[in-house]
Structure formats: C-alpha cells, structure tokens
Structure 1
Amino acid sequence: MESLPVTLRNFEESDVDDFMEWATDEEVYRFSKHLPYKSREQAENYLKNEAMVHPWLKAICLNGRAVGSISLRRGCDDCWCKAGIGYRLARRWWGEGLTTQAVKLALSTAFIDMPGLERIEGIVEPENVGSQRVFEKAGFVKEGLLCKYLRFKGKTRDFYSYSFLAPDLPNCV
C-alpha cells in the first residue's frame, strides 16, 4: 500500500473546521491530559491564541487540509537540551501511517529548528499500543517504564519512555 503524502505547516485560523473534526473527538483525547473541545469558539480561541503562536506546533496535513497536529515542547532551564513530542490525528486517518510520517518529518527539522536540542522524548501509556508503534517505526528507543509518572484525569499513571537523540550523539541504550 502506498502511503498518503503528509506535510507539516503552521496552523491558520481557516483550519478551524478541520481542527474541529479531531478536537471534539473524545477517542482522540483518550490518552491525553487535555479534554476535547466543546465549542467552535473554544477551538477558534485555541488556534488564534495558542496554536498559531506556539514555538513549534504544526498542522499535520493531507492535500493542504489539517487532519491532526504535532508539537515539540522544549524543556526549561537545565532541561533546555530536550523536548517532548506530542501529536493528535483525526480518527478516520488512524492506521494509515500518517502519524509516523509526521513524526519523521518533525525529527528531520527539529534539531535545526531548536539549536542546542539533544533529545526528543515521548511518553506513552502502556495501553496506547498505537503510539508505541509510531515511536518505534520513527526510530525512537524504548527506554523503560516510568511508574506512577504523571497524574491526569484524576489518576496517577504509568508511562513508557521513548527517546530520539540528535543524529550526531551516541545512543545510550
């Protein structure tokens, strides 16, 4: 099967209708600390006041239409050398390899876009097998289980830690 061509670009206000497809879907937010959006107004405010001004948040696009999002969140102070990666994709595109393509595209520019970045890390709940496969297919290394690592949606949860090191750094695993 030939994969669909994915591109990444900055969000625009005109993406609101496409954004609403996945931003209101509870299943898309199942493994997220965030809750789905409840209104178009919330979505418009998010796009204008957060997504469009975020240092590294991109729309995952098919034929120019936003079908998901991918972000890198840089650490602060002593953690400036690392960034966390996160993504969401409209449910109708799950299982098509789009997220893996988007992660690979993000990796291809992240270390250039963020000088001094040495590590990109993803954390995934053990039940989220799809995201574990995405990270593995994109070249991340599974480092281990972080027990009782984060609390959200009223519960402290375990996560697997995945990492991708800058291309010129040795892999420590």
Structure 2
Amino acid sequence: MTVETSFPVIETERLLLRKAVQEDAADMLRYLSDEEVVRHMGLNPFNSLQDVYGELDWYREIFQVGTGIRWAISLKGSGIMIGSCGFLNRKPNHFRAEIGYELSREYWGEGIASEALQAIISYGFDHLNLERIEALIEPSNAPSIKLAERQGFIREGLLRHYEYTCGKFDDLYMYSLLKMDWRSKEIKTSADNTKKDI
C-alpha cells in the first residue's frame, strides 16, 4: 500500500484544497450542524466542537494508514473551510476507492463541488493509481446523482439496505467511474476547447 507522507495541496481556478486542521473546527461546525448538509451523509447534525474533532481525527487516521484522504475546500484568498472532499475505503490492491464530499449550503449551486471533484478525480487517477472510483449515493439525493453523472459516473445498480445510519437502513445507488472513461472525457473536453479557440 502506498501511504502518502506529506499532505498534497491542490489548486483549481477558484479553490484551494488543503489539509483540514484544528483551526478549521468552527467553520466545520457551522456547516456540519446544518441538517440539510448532512441529510444524505448518514450523520446526525453535529452539536459541538467535540463532534468536529472526532471528524478531524478520522481525516488524520485514514490519511496516515492509507485508506483515504480528505481535503478541506476553501476559496482562494480565504482561509475559511466551506466543505470537504476526498476518498475513503481505498483498496490499493484492487486499485479502487470511494469518493465523497459535502459543502456548506450557502455555496450550493455555484459549481464549487463540481470543480473540487474534477480536481480530486484527476488526483486519484494520476497520483493514487486508481483504476475505479466509486460513489455511493442515496436515491433521494438528486443533486449528488446529477453531479456524479455530469462527471461521467455510471450507475451500476441499487444496493438494498446497504448501510444502517441514524436508526434506519439506507438503500444506495452504486456509481463508478473508470480511468479509461475519465481519460476519454478529458480528451473530448480538450478537443471541444480547442475548437472554441479556433
């Protein structure tokens, strides 16, 4: 298993994806205490900074043992953490990982989640040697379904009562994106951009 030693920072046009630190706890509590934000995450709304410290411990643990990585999402020029994104349940021997994200409600609808996911998908295929990226999405989570499909994820099926969270069993759609599909999408996007420039 390849274990990262220094935390990678990713820059996009508008975003800085970086390590989440204890100083981010108040920002995290602000959005993780929002029932609308955590509704499809299998979590109850956070009530205290202690809840957030537990989340930060999990971010650190999955990075240290190599089973995942979670970036803080912040706007360039602002230190404020407005969400997170990354990989979990990474299985290096099978070249796959699961993708996940959440975003503060005040930033919904601005293309930020899409911009962040594009960056980490590229990172996963280019630097983590992933062949397959999975997304497990509740059927009622229409915005995340739309976002995944825009990135090229394919729905493979329904996992019935796959998780037990917040006192209930959840069905989840299994979506996947393969490296070859992503490369084809990148080539097509590059070709389309070249045509626009001509």
**TM-score normalised to the size of structure 1?**
0.83
Contact 1:146 / 1:160 at 8 angstroms: preserved in 2?
yes
Contact 1:12 / 1:52 at 8 angstroms: preserved in 2?
no
User: In structure 1, what is the equivalent of residue 106 of structure 2?
Assistant: 92
User: In structure 1, what is the equivalent of residue 146 of structure 2?
Assistant: 133
Matches within 5 A, 1:1-150: 5-47=14-56, 49-55=57-63, 56-63=69-76, 64=78, 65-76=80-91, 80-115=94-129, 117-150=130-163
- 1:168 is displaced (CA, Å) by 7.5
For 1:119, the aligned partner's letter is R
Contact 1:71 / 1:85 at 8 angstroms: preserved in 2?
yes
Say which one has the larger Rg: 2
* C-alpha RMSD over aligned residues: 2.4
Contact 2:62 / 2:88 at 8 angstroms: preserved in 1?
no
| Cα deviation 1:10-69 (Å, max 9, x = unaligned) | 11222122212112112211111222221123323532x232443211011113421001
Structure 1 residues without counterparts, runs of 5 or longer: none
Residues matched between the structures, number = 165
More helix by share: 2
Q: 1:77 to 1:13 in 2, by over 3 A?
A: closer
In structure 2, what is the Cα distance between the partners aligned to 1:169 and 1:133? 17
- 1:94 is displaced (CA, Å) by 1.2
Higher relative CO (CA 8 A, sep ≥ 6), structure 1 or 2? 1
Q: 1:152 to 1:10 in 2, by over 3 A?
A: same
In structure 2, what is the Cα distance between the partners aligned to 1:46 and 1:37? 10
Contact 2:95 / 2:131 at 8 angstroms: preserved in 1?
yes
Range 60-69 or range 122-131, more displaced: 60-69
For 1:37, the aligned partner's letter is F
Q: 1:54 to 1:148 in 2, by over 3 A?
A: closer
Contact 2:153 / 2:175 at 8 angstroms: preserved in 1?
yes
In structure 2, what is the Cα distance between the partners aligned to 1:31 and 1:68? 14
- 1:83 is displaced (CA, Å) by 0.6
